[in-house]
């Protein structure tokens, strides 16, 4: 398929700059997969739209302050941490005859990239001085491997002290508090972008859903480059999905199997939850408890084996997220019909925008 098939005109003013308050007051477009029928509702209507025995699966990842500002040879640069890696390749770590020995190594993006080379030292100011991060390898994809002066947890702690909230570039004002770019059920730190389809849940709504016989389970996918990098190839199939770490616990596998045995539906909250569940099945032939990298790219024609419903936001043009939603709806034209409806009826788009329920 052509990437241009997933292009549409999104006026900049339709991109929401903050969540509505309370968050469950956001609008909800309900779409029937079989008929294409659409209804305009609100997110707080969710208890009346689901059935007792349905299972909602959430991504419990937590965002950290991944954007670090520093300098290289006096020139300002931004270091955007993506994820820890076990270690760089031997030939990269032994660059220029120097063997790097550091507590942890990270994949990252840098800006401006032209200031960064193998061996560059990025100085990041702290409360008491500065810390030096070494660029071990710079790839042609724009991703760098950096050596952190801290272990993995220490790096996360450092970033949360010194760094900035990694909101998308179309958000013009940084949130004043971390929780404004966090789901209320976030538990496990490691994401550089929020699983924003979960923003609409409030404690009151979750309690109402539980009281109505709706069950909950969690997975973890630490959102990284795979989720938010736009498609730049002319053909959808040529896009390479960057791997993200995910985990499915045994309790979630059991809950999903029991839900299906009883005739209930599995409702995934967000594309990250969907790719975690479907990605594990694609790797292993069935849903198992595991923790590993997921790089599944879902395009139209994909056969979903786990989820029966999807809660998702309205996504930007030419993104892998749009491709996944089109695949779940079954047809690209069904996706575009929903988006035309949303544009015509004043829905808010992107991370802080409104939501869709597809069942």
Query: What are 140-152's pLDDT values in tens digits?
Result: 677 899 999 999 9
Using only C-alpha atoms, what is the Rg of the chain? 21
Q: Residue 96 pLDDT more than 70?
A: no
- pLDDT for residue 60: 98
The region of weakest confidence among 90-99, 150-159, 196-205, 254-263 is 90-99
Weakest mean pLDDT among 129-133, 137-141, 233-237, 351-355 = 137-141
pLDDT in tens, 197-229: 999 999 999 999 999 999 999 999 999 988 888
Written in H, E and C, the secondary structure of the chain is CEHHHHCCCCCHHHECCCCCCCHHHCEEEEECCCCCCEEEEEHHHHHHHCCCCCEEEEECEEECCCEEEEEECCEEEEEEEEEEECCCCHHHHCHHHCCCCCCEEEEEEEECHHHCCCCCEEEEECCCCEEEEEEEEECCCCEEEEEECCCHHHHHHHHHHHCECCCCCCCCCCCCCHHHHCCCCCCEEEECCCCHHHHHCCHHHHHHHHHCCCEEEEEEECCCHHHHCCCCCCEHHHCCCCCEEEEECHHHHHHHHHHHHCCCCEEEECHHHHHHHHHHHHHHCCCCCEEEEECCCCCCCCCCCCCCEEEEECCCCCCHHHHHHHHHHCCHHHHHHHHHHHHHCCCCECCCCCEEEEC
- The band of 99, judged by pLDDT with boundaries at 50, 70 and 90, is very low
The stretch 134-138 carries a mean pLDDT of 91
Could you tell me which residue, 73 or 345, shows the higher pLDDT? 345
Tell me what pLDDT residue 126 has. 84
What is the fold of 3-63+175-358?
A: QueA-like (3.40.1780)
Q: Which has more pLDDT, 93 or 258?
A: 258
Return the pLDDT at 127. Answer: 82
pLDDT range class, residue 98, cuts 50, 70, 90: very low
Q: What is the pLDDT of residue 319?
A: 94
Q: Is a pLDDT exceeding 70 seen at residue 267?
A: yes
pLDDT-above-70 percentage for the chain:
95
Residues pairing with 64 in the sheet:
none
What confidence tier does 259 reach under pLDDT thresholds 50, 70, 90?
very high
pLDDT of residue 350: 97
Specify the pairing of strand 55-59 against strand 215-221. Answer: parallel
CATH topology of domain 67-162: Thrombin, subunit H (2.40.10)
Q: Which token pair is 353?
A: 């925008």
Tokens of 133: 């991060």
Rounded to an integer, the average pLDDT of 156-179 is 93
Across residues 100-114, what is the average pLDDT?
A: 83
Q: Does the reported pTM lie above 0.75? A: yes
Q: Are 70 and 108 in contact (CB under 8 A)?
A: no
Q: What is the pLDDT of residues 308-340, one digit of tens each?
A: 999 999 999 999 999 999 999 998 999 999 999
- Interval 271-292: pLDDT, tens: 999 999 999 999 999 999 999 9
Averaged pLDDT for residues 61-72: 96
Quote the pLDDT of residue 89: 58
Pairwise CA distance, residues 342 & 337, whole Å: 9
Looking at residues 4-19, what average pLDDT do you find?
Answer: 96
**Where in the chain are the domains?**
3-63+175-358, 67-162
């Amino acid at each position: 398929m052509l990437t241009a098939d997933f292009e549409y005109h999104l006026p900049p003013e339709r991109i929401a700059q903050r969540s509505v308050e309370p968050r469950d007051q956001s609008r909800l477009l309900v779409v029937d997969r079989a008929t294409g029928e659409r209804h305009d509702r609100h997110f707080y209507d969710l208890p009346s739209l689901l059935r007792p025995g349905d299972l909602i699966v959430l991504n419990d990842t937590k965002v950290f302050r991944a954007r670090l500002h520093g300098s290289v040879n006096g020139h300002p640069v931004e270091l955007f941490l993506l994820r820890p890696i076990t270690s760089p390749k031997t030939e990269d770590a032994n660059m220029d005859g120097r063997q790097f020995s550091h507590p942890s190594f990270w994949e990252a993006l840098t800006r401006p990239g032209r200031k960064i080379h193998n061996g560059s030292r990025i100085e990041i100011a702290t409360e008491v001085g500065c810390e030096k991060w070494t660029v071990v390898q710079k790839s042609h994809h724009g991703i760098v491997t950096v050596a952190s002066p801290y272990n993995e947890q220490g790096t996360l702690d450092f970033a949360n002290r010194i760094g900035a909230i990694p909101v998308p570039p179309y958000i013009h004002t940084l949130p004043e508090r971390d929780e404004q770019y966090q789901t209320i059920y976030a538990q496990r730190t490691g994401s550089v972008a929020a699983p924003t389809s979960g923003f609409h849940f409030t404690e009151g709504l979750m309690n109402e859903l539980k009281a109505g016989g709706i069950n909950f389970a969690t997975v973890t996918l630490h959102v990284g480059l795979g989720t938010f990098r736009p498609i730049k190839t002319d053909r959808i199939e040529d896009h390479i999905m960057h791997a993200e770490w995910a985990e499915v616990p045994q309790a979630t596998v059991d809950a999903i199997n029991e839900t299906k045995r009883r005739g209930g539906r599995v409702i995934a909250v967000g594309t990250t939850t969907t790719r975690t569940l479907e990605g594990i099945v694609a790797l292993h032939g069935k849903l198992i408890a595991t923790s590993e990298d997921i790089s599944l790219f879902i395009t139209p024609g994909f056969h979903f084996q786990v989820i029966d419903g999807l809660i998702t936001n309205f996504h930007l043009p030419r993104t892998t997220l749009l491709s996944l939603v089109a695949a779940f709806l079954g047809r690209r034209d069904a996706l575009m019909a929903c988006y035309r409806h949303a544009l015509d009826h004043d829905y808010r788009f992107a991370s802080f925008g409104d939501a869709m329920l597809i069942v």
